[in-house]
């Protein structure tokens, strides 16, 4: 009631404009994440909604906004390592390493590896300057949880589970470094594997029990490729029409609507994208995890 009708109309305009950007192959994508709503939706082949689950997205503060883009999900990794980006090592681990030495990493389930992934010993100085890679070992406490859903892209963004399920109880869920954490990773894995055609052959049928076994007691860093890649859209709609026909409005958490309004207000010719991105990209880069 405190928001002017004109502002709601503008949100509808911005959302319709973004729908217009989508390539034809993604207008009815099977998987859609709506960032300001903090929700992931899966759709059946007839385009009716199959499921909805909560997600955690990139922090509004600290330049961790999740980017807006489209791509193809190609594989899953059960019990993954988390390869910590150098930027996060410098921002969040370096000060601890300076105080406690590289032993701090081992105490927090991290290890240092060379470019081939082989574990190596390293000094604090080598870690701080990026001379070795830092990764978190697989397991239930791993920052990526027990499964991640991969659609390789220039932003290094993906969906993954999390050891912090309590965050899904929050109404506002922007807590990550840019990647998207999903509320029910085991259910999503079953859906993705079956939708992606991984239902026979050496892997056998992927039901919920098999997925949970792979997550809890299977081999580390186990990759399962999809026979049929699945289109996914990481989207930004501050106005969305639900199945019941009701329009829901959401906060412009990243200011993407404002940026769009400012560009459109200047009139044509509209600027082209300013960064080199893959053919599916329709947004701006963010950080990872």
pLDDT at 277 over 80: no
Q: What is the pLDDT of residues 23-58, one digit of tens each?
A: 998 999 999 999 999 999 999 999 999 999 999 999
- Mean pLDDT for 215-231 is 95
Query: Per the omega criterion (within 30 degrees of 0), is the bond before 269 cis?
Result: yes
**55 in Cβ contact with 39 (< 8 Å):** yes
Per-residue pLDDT at 285: 36
Q: Locate tokens 């960064």: which residue?
A: 275
| SS3 category, 63 | coil
- Cα of 58 vs its chain's centroid, Å: 8
Better pLDDT: 230 or 241: 230
- Mean pLDDT for 179-206 is 86
For residue 8, CA distances in Å to 21, 154, 252 come to: 20, 33, 12
Per-residue pLDDT at 130: 80
Per-residue pLDDT at 63: 79
- Mean pLDDT for 110-117 is 89
Consecutive H or E run containing 37? none
Q: What residues pair up with 247 in beta bridges, in sequence order?
A: 241
Most confident range (mean pLDDT) of 2-6, 53-57, 175-179 is 53-57
Q: pLDDT averaged over the chain? A: 88
Strand ranges (DSSP E) for 18-154? 31-34, 39-43, 49-58, 69-78, 82-84, 110-113, 133-136, 147-150
Better pLDDT: 275 or 27: 27
Of all residues in the chain, the percent with pLDDT exceeding 70 is: 91
pLDDT at 280 over 70: no
Q: How confident is the model at residue 203 (pLDDT cuts 50, 70, 90)?
A: low
Could you give the CA distance from residue 177 to residue 260 in angstroms, rounded to a whole number?
23
- Per DSSP, 281 falls in state B
| SS3 category, 102 | coil
CA 274, 250, 160, 81 torsion: positive or negative?
Answer: positive
Per-residue pLDDT at 272: 63
Domain boundaries along the sequence of the chain: 5-80+141-265, 83-136
Q: How confident is the model at residue 11 (pLDDT cuts 50, 70, 90)?
A: very high
Q: How confident is the model at residue 178 (pLDDT cuts 50, 70, 90)?
A: very high
CB atoms within 10 A of CB 36: 24
| SS3 category, 154 | coil
- Mean pLDDT for 200-217 is 83
pLDDT at 289 over 80: no
> Phi then psi for 7, rounded to 5 degrees?
-70, -40
Better pLDDT: 135 or 270: 135
CA 251, 256, 262, 263 torsion: positive or negative?
Answer: negative
Q: What is the pLDDT of residues 119-163, one digit of tens each?
A: 998 888 888 888 889 999 999 999 999 999 999 999 999 999 999
- Mean pLDDT for 196-215 is 81
pLDDT at 190 over 80: yes
Q: What residues pair up with 186 in beta bridges, in sequence order?
A: none
What topology does CATH give the domain 5-80+141-265? L,D-transpeptidase catalytic domain-like (2.40.440)
Per-residue pLDDT at 283: 44
């Amino acid at each position: 009631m405190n928001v002017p009708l004109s502002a709601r109309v503008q949100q509808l305009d911005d959302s319709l404009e973004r729908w217009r950007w989508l390539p034809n192959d993604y207008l009815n994508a099977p998987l859609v994440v709506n960032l300001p709503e903090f929700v992931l939706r899966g759709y059946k082949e007839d385009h009716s909604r199959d499921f909805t689950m909560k997600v955690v997205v990139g922090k509004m503060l600290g330049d961790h906004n999740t980017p807006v883009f489209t791509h193809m999900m190609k594989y899953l990794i059960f019990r993954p390592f988390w390869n910590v980006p150098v930027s996060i090592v410098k921002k969040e681990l370096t000060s601890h390493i300076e105080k406690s030495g590289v032993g701090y990493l081992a105490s927090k389930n991290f290890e240092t590896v060379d470019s081939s992934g082989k574990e190596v010993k390293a000094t604090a100085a080598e870690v701080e300057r990026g001379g070795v890679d830092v990764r978190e070992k697989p397991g239930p406490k791993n920052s990526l949880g027990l499964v991640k859903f991969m659609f390789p892209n220039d932003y290094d963004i993906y969906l993954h589970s999390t050891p912090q399920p309590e965050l899904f109880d929050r109404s506002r869920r922007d807590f990550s470094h840019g990647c998207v954490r999903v509320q029910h990773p085991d259910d999503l894995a079953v859906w993705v594997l079956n939708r992606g055609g991984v239902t026979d052959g050496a892997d056998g049928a992927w039901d919920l029990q098999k997925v949970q076994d792979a997550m809890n007691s299977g081999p580390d860093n186990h990759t399962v490729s999809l026979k049929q890649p699945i289109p996914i859209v990481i989207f930004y709609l501050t106005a969305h029409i639900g199945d019941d026909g009701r329009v829901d409005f959401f906060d412009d958490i990243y200011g993407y609507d404002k940026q769009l309004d400012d560009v459109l207000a200047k009139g044509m010719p509209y600027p082209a994208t300013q960064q080199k991105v893959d053919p599916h990209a329709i947004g701006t880069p963010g950080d990872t995890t």
